[in-house]
Amino acid sequence: MAFDFIKDKLAAQQASSLYRQRVCIQQHGADDDAKSHISIDGKAYINFSSNDYLGLNNHPDINKAMQEGLDKFGLSGCSSNLVTGFHYAHQALEDTICQWLNKPKCLLFSSGFAANMAFFQALGQSSATSFFLDKLSHASMLDGAFSSKAAVKRFAHNDIMQLSELLTKSASGNKLIASEGVFSMDGDQAKLIDLSALATTHDASLFIDDAHSIGVIGEQGQGSNSIVEPDVTMATFGKAIATSGAFLACDEKLHDYLINFARHYIYSTAISPALAWATIKSIELIKAEQWRRDKIIELSHLLTDLLDPSINIIKSQSSIQAIIIGDEDKALNVSEQLNNAGLWVTAIRPPTVAKGTSRLRVTVCANHNINNIKALAYSLNKALC
Ligand SMILES: Cc1ncc(COP(=O)(O)O)c(C=O)c1O
pLDDT above 80: residue 47: yes
CB 110 less than 6 A from any atom of ligand 1 = no
Nearest CA-CA partner of 90 in 275, 344, 319 = 275
Q: Is residue 171 very low, low, confident or very high in pLDDT (cuts 50, 70, 90)? A: very high
Q: How far is CA 272 from CA 68, 108, 116, 180, 277, in A?
A: 13, 10, 19, 26, 9
User: Atom of ligand 1 at shortest distance to CA of 180?
Assistant: 1
Spatial separation of the C-alpha atoms in residues 204 and 215, rounded to whole Å? 27
Tens of pLDDT, residue by residue over 201-257, are 999 999 999 999 999 999 999 999 999 999 999 999 999 999 999 999 999 999 999
pLDDT above 80: residue 30: no
Residue 59 catalytic?
no
Residue 368 catalytic?
no
Spatial separation of the C-alpha atoms in residues 63 and 69, rounded to whole Å? 10
pLDDT above 90: residue 31: no
Q: Is residue 18 very low, low, confident or very high in pLDDT (cuts 50, 70, 90)? A: confident
Strand, coil or helix: 273: helix
Q: Of 21-25, 65-69, 320-324, give the lowest mean pLDDT range.
A: 21-25
Nearest CA-CA partner of 281 in 118, 83, 77, 72 = 72
Q: Return mean pLDDT, the chain.
A: 96
pLDDT of residue 1: 77
Domains and CATH numbers, the chain: 20-54+290-384 (3.90.1150.10), 60-288 (3.40.640.10)
Nearest CA owner, ligand 1 atom 15: 211
Residue 184 catalytic?
yes
Q: For residue 326, what is the enclosing H or E element?
A: strand 320-326
pLDDT above 90: residue 3: yes
Q: Is residue 32 very low, low, confident or very high in pLDDT (cuts 50, 70, 90)? A: confident
Global pTM reads 0.96
pLDDT of residue 38: 94
pLDDT above 80: residue 348: yes
pLDDT above 90: residue 17: no
CB 154 less than 6 A from any atom of ligand 1 = no
pLDDT of residue 166: 98
Residue type, 140: S
CB 178 less than 6 A from any atom of ligand 1 = no
CB 143 less than 6 A from any atom of ligand 1 = no
pLDDT of residue 27: 84
pLDDT above 80: residue 383: yes
